[in-house]
Structure 1
Amino acid sequence: MAKKKIGVAIIGSGSIATYRHAPEYAAHPNVEIIAFVDPVIERAEKLAKKYDAKAFRSHEEVLELKNVDAVSVCTPNVYHAPITIEALKAGKHVLCEKPMATSDKEAREMIKAAEKAGKFLMIGHNQRLAPLHIKAKQLIKDGVIGKVITFKTSFCHPGPESWSIEGPTGWFFDKKKAFVGSMGDLGVHKADLLRWLLGEEIVEVAAMVDHLEKPMGDVDDNAVCILRTESGAMGTLTASWTHYPGEDNATYVYGTLGQIRIGTDPRFSVIVHLKNKEKQFYEVGALQTNEEGGQSDSGVIRAFVESILTNTPPEINGEEGRRALAIILACLKSSETKKFEKVEI
């Protein structure tokens, strides 16, 4: 028996909708895109025309549509929680972009709304779905590099102004809409990746999060964070919007028997270098990128749709999103207090 098509509405018609959500939904044989939403109606209309859907100014209208089973929330960060909660109450499954909320309180309310509605809430943390990270996690789990001692990860690029549909005057740089800058755009991805990759929680942080260079806006454009895990391993997380001209999206994990380098080589995306001088090279694909060459499949849409089709709760659920957000919130607090801060797990 053929699987029924899932009716999807995409709320927010900016770059993340244009380059990730829309084409990935359109490529899925079990999805029909019903609607695009944006207060700037021309953006919604452009995508609606391309994907044979309808355009709306308000998400409230779309949430009333019976043929919409699920929504993607691709709005500025400050609207993630309220729109997600409305959609869940309307009986829709929700895929929400990251960071899932602007506070722990909001995140918990989103999770409760999903539980009450009996619908799925998934957060768009795509790094853990990348084949190179899946391979690296398996190697770490298998004990190839022994017990993890230290780690470092970076997500850095020249900033969202070249990619965002609104350019340098966009919401990314407006604290009222974005809540946080490079840490919300990039740092939260790596926070999620680290706790998943290492298989344990980050429990304590110290951080410097600041606006150093970007002439526009009032959000952070750089962050350097020290993290400690439950087992005592420690490392760094760097997020930056001022890496000119290219991107740094690499992760290193060091253990008692050797190290793993992830995303440091254009051909061998996972490299193991052991204490006994042995080296292992794995060609498992590059990370998704916004750089020249196009957008590869994120894996997020496929995972979300599969959860709905099989009635299986998503791995990257609201609680997973909340715990990644908690690391970011602790780093922001540390930057203000100039002290080590506990992560509210």
Structure 2
Amino acid sequence: MRFNVGIIGCGSIARFRHAPEYKANPFVGEIIFYDRNMERAESLAKRFGGRVAGTLEDLLADPTIVAISDCSSNEAHHIHTSKALLSGKHVLCEKPLAISVKHAEEIIEAERKSGKKLMVDHNQRFTKAHQKAKEILEKKELGDVLTFRTTFGHQGPESWGVTKSNATWFFKKGRSHSGVAGDLGIHKIDLIHYLLDDEIEEVHAFYGALDKINEQGQPIEVCDNIVSALKTRKGRLGTASFSWTYYGREDNTTTIYCQKGVMKIYHHDDAQLIIEQNDGSVIKYELEPIQTNDNQTSTGVIDAFIDCIVNDKVPPVTSREALASLKVIEKMLGSE
């Protein structure tokens, strides 16, 4: 069984993550690319041996395409993903699911009407260290979770985006909407929900555009830093910080404090998961380095998406879970 897939939006996320992982999947035949910038679509089609759809309508009407990745910018997700679902395609949507809870609910309604599968690309769930951490927490090997802290920061999307400039859409309010919150923050909110089998309900946050400037030399329209205090439904307390101004090494770490010890995730290169127990013993798990913008490795997301189509499974990251994370982001930003 092999089928074709489509990709909407041919920027860096399509080039470095979606297209190569589809290419490597044995169930995927041809990849069909669509972008408003035809040259970008043609470049990826040449690179990955696929073809180009002239219009979005052509892509959605193609009967050979079973599944679509929506790699468009944030403000278009509720349009493209909804249309793709209602055109009878399974959809893998990039995060955040939408720029607002209201638009996310429109997508979920399209999912319900279509009966098709919708998965959201919260890829941190798929790393070996996070999955091992989840297993340990589920078994309560360290007792109950009490508090946590998590962070995700790097030098900013202008070094990652396809344009390699501060004219990037990530800095535009109308396209990005939530800045670093929707780019990096939502990954860690989803991760905390996943690891703790819980949801963040109360949020107190400070945010601002502290350093990034746009192509006119003005402060960007969205936040480049957020620091927040969080409380979950089950009463766990935590902190989260997200930044586009960590001008050293990327920081993608999480610490979980439990009754019987501490869990440190991605703090050290040689041991991605470290357990420090109350009796002084330390357990180190050497699993795999986390994917960074400079170290592109397979996320496992595409394989999981294809598997849920082929074997008719519930997607491992559902739209409802993505909506829960988006609600937290809205609370952080005061529903602006």
Q: Same fold (TM over 0.5)?
A: yes
Alpha-carbon contact 1:157-1:248 (below 8 Å) kept: yes
In 2, distance between residues paired with 1:186 and 1:57? 32
Structure 1 residue 310: Cα displacement: 0.5
In 1, distance between residues paired with 2:226 and 2:53? 37
SS of alignment partner, residue 175 of structure 2 = helix
For residues 38-80 of structure 1, give each alpha carbon's deviation from its aligned partner in whole angstroms, at most 9, with x where no partner exists. Answer: 1111110011112222223532220011101110000110001
Is 1:229 the equivalent of 2:229? Answer: no
In 1, distance between residues paired with 2:261 and 2:87? 51
Structure 1 residue 282: Cα displacement: 0.6
Alpha-carbon contact 1:33-1:51 (below 8 Å) kept: no
Structure 1 residue 315: Cα displacement: 1.8
| Structure 1 range deviating more: 110-119 or 8-17 | 110-119
Q: Which residue of 2 aligns with 1:147?
A: 144
1:148-187 matches, within 5 Å, as 148-167=145-164, 168-187=166-185
Is 1:9 the equivalent of 2:20? Answer: no
Structure 1 residue 286: Cα displacement: 1.6
TM (normalized to structure 2)?
Answer: 0.96
Q: Which residue of 2 aligns with 1:250?
A: 253
Q: How many residues align?
A: 330
SS of alignment partner, residue 79 of structure 1 = helix
In 1, distance between residues paired with 2:106 and 2:167? 31
Paired letter, 1:34: I
Q: Which residue of 2 aligns with 1:202?
A: 200
| Structure 1 range deviating more: 16-25 or 160-169 | 160-169
For residues 55-111 of structure 1, give each alpha carbon's deviation from its aligned partner in whole angstroms, at most 9, with x where no partner exists. Answer: 235322200111011100001100011100000110000000000101111111111
Alpha-carbon contact 1:155-1:238 (below 8 Å) kept: yes
Q: Which residue of 2 aligns with 1:317?
A: 318
SS of alignment partner, residue 253 of structure 1 = strand
Q: Which residue of 1 aligns with 2:302?
A: 301
In 1, distance between residues paired with 2:169 and 2:55? 18
One of 35, 40, 49 as aligned partner of 1:38: 35
Paired letter, 2:36: P
For residues 128-148 of structure 1, give each alpha carbon's deviation from its aligned partner in whole angstroms, at most 9, with x where no partner exists. Answer: 111100001111122222111
In 2, distance between residues paired with 1:245 and 1:318? 34
Which 4+ runs in 1 deviate beyond 4 A? none
In 2, distance between residues paired with 1:155 and 1:64? 39
Q: Structure 2: 5+ residue runs without aligned partners?
A: 215-219
In 2, distance between residues paired with 1:10 and 1:271? 38
Alpha-carbon contact 1:40-1:57 (below 8 Å) kept: no
In 2, distance between residues paired with 1:278 and 1:313? 39
Alpha-carbon contact 1:95-1:123 (below 8 Å) kept: yes
Is 1:95 the equivalent of 2:92? Answer: yes
SS of alignment partner, residue 100 of structure 1 = coil
| Structure 1 range deviating more: 92-101 or 225-234 | 225-234
State the superposition RMSD in angstroms.
Answer: 1.1
One of 264, 288, 291 as aligned partner of 1:288: 291
In 1, distance between residues paired with 2:51 and 2:228? 44
Q: Which residue of 2 aligns with 1:329?
A: 330
Paired letter, 1:6: F
Q: Which residue of 2 aligns with 1:341?
A: none
Paired letter, 2:173: K
One of 106, 109, 116 as aligned partner of 1:109: 106
SS of alignment partner, residue 327 of structure 2 = helix
Paired letter, 1:33: E
